[in-house]
Amino acid sequence: MKINIYYGGRGLLDDPTLYVLKKMQNVFTELRVTVERYNIFEYKNSISTLPQTMKDADGTETTHESETSSKKIIQFEPGETTVELTLMDPDLEKLVKYFGGSLTIRPRKLPYMEWAVWQQPEEGLLVGCPNARIIPKFEITYSAKGICLVPMTIKYQAETHVSEENVDPSKAS
């Protein structure tokens, strides 16, 4: 088993969270659990997104009944599959890539763009979708730690492909 701990503080010596994290790491180590701690303040320029959550919305079920027959026809429409994530400290080029416009002008309406999205949530497992929309929200938050956070949603518009045998298309030979 592996546990990732994300510490969002600034790493000051008098931060009581550091003491608690150290104790937690010791307990997990005694239980033979692999623990990796990420101090976000150290990685803020190299981590582009915070942890993601992939979820399916509830589907809808429609029942069709006929006046002349007792037979019911039931149709089921699956819900959307989405991933919620937060982009950390994006540069201006990334903001233009997702919001459209230019470096000096933000458009009032987001451009409609479709992407092929591949995610690797853990080693060996690759989740991909050939047709997805990335929808950023213009809710840019500047945290107390000086990190700019931009919430985004990825909406899958086709079936997802999940397999340990999938090959990352950006690294395929």
pLDDT of the residue at 93: 84
pLDDT of the residue at 52: 59
pLDDT of the residue at 20: 86
pLDDT of the residue at 70: 84
Name which of 50, 53, 45, 170 is nearest 115 in CA terms. 170
| Alpha-carbon gap, residue 136 to 106, rounded angstroms | 13
Q: Which regions in the chain score pLDDT beneath 50?
A: 46, 50
Name which of 136, 127, 120, 114 is nearest 162 in CA terms. 127
Tokens describing residue 129: 């979708």
pLDDT of the residue at 44: 52
| Alpha-carbon gap, residue 22 to 16, rounded angstroms | 10
pLDDT of the residue at 123: 62
What pTM did the predictor assign?
Answer: 0.54
